[in-house]
Amino acid sequence: MSSINPTPRDYNTARVLEVVLSHAPLTRNKLIESTGLSKATVSRAVEDLRSHGFVVDGGVDDVVGRGRPSTYLDVPETAGHVVGVGFGAVTTGVLVTDLRGREIGHVVVPTVEHHDVPAGGRWLADLVAQTSASARGPRRQIVVALPAHVRDSTEVLRPADPMKIFSGRDLHRILEELLDTPVTFDSDANASLLQVLTDDVSIHNAALFSLSSTVNFATCRDRELARGRTPAFGDIGSLSSGVDDRTLNGMLSTAGLAKLAREHGLDTERVEDLWLMPPDHQARAEILKAFTTAVTTAVSVVAVTLDPESVYFVGRLRPLVEEALPEVRRRLEHSLPAVPRITTVSQVLGLSVARGAVHAGLAMTHDRLQDALLKARAQGPQQEQAAPTF
């Protein structure tokens, strides 16, 4: 069949699809207001989308005063679902939502230690399949966020020590083969920052440090995440911490902090034991002082080079950051002409990163569906469908 170029009507339908996916349930009047299209154009687009299986009638809007009630337009569950995964060194969370972002299911489990990539890939694929078993419609996208740097959305670079075996592209290949779904990898810091941006639409330029099994860093400009062009981008953990010859990763990761504690004679079973000790404990006080210096150094680097409005800290070391922040701010006020807003963000272990990954997956899926709608023009007119036609 020869291809047919999309018409203005097709582009209008794609625009309506974008708004419906992002804001449903909504009335036709709200849809007209959001798209800036005429009532007739929106009505035609809605019927086109209904024939493709992407729009159904929802509830009825209450009307105050005279006038007919307006029916809400919604996206059916059969339109598909996306999966966000927070694949951490200690905990793994999987969250499944429909294309509106409504939760279908989630699970948070301890990360099982594997000694080869195929076994780890099968374990993670099974976890995704089990969590999404009740979902209806096609699985559109999976986004996996890891404590690592990621190149080209597929290659794992410099992961946390417990996950060294997953370096490279093999895990990505295995997951796509086992799950038969587009899979994108990203860093846990990017997923966390995306969740922060979703929660607060007033944020435009920001930086975020994820301090857990390794140090990960993310930044955005005008709400767009920065990806960089080389594998070195974001590897802030390799920079000097300002404490002896230690790097930021050696001071601001759980492994680095545990090593420092042992050097000070503290045999703590968990790094969390540090902030449970009395504040006046000498060794603890020395560790906190060094940690404060490292946090100050990290914020100074991004403040000078990126000029963010806000700097966020997340991860297992967040409680220690909160303790250090008053002194960090005091030091920065003496060394910087302007100090960004510095704050910590509490997270649900295993689930918050997965939620950020879901937001990334929804954005990818929405863009892909608009492109698919325009390409479907070449297939000719469609009959009304109970399930999506693309």
- What is the spatial order of strands in the sheet that 103-110 belongs to? 103-110, 91-98, 81-87, 139-146, 183-187
Q: How many helices (H) and strands (E) does the chain have?
A: 11, 15
> Bridge partners of 107?
94
**What integer pLDDT is reported at residue 276 of this predicted model?**
80
Question: Averaged over 278-301, what is the pLDDT?
Answer: 92
CB count in 10 Å sphere of residue 256: 25
- Residue 3, pLDDT > 80, answer no
- Look at residue 64 in the predicted model and tell me its pLDDT: 43
Please tell me whether the peptide bond between 25 and the residue prior to it is cis, using omega within 30 degrees of 0: yes
Predicted pLDDT at 234: 76
Residues 6+ away with beta carbon under 8 Å from 29: 70
pLDDT attached to residue 379: 54
What's the DSSP call for residue 115? Answer: S
Cis status of the peptide bond prior to 8, with omega within 30 of 0: no
Residue type (1 letter), 294 = A
Q: Which amino acid is at 78?
A: T
pTM: 0.90
Q: Give the DSSP H or E segment for 301.
A: helix 282-306
What whole-number percentage of the chain has pLDDT above 90? 74
The residue with greater pLDDT, 272 or 294, is 294
How far apart CA 235 and CA 25 sit, in angstroms, is: 41
Phi-psi region of 168 (alpha: psi -120 to 50; beta: other; left: phi over 0): left
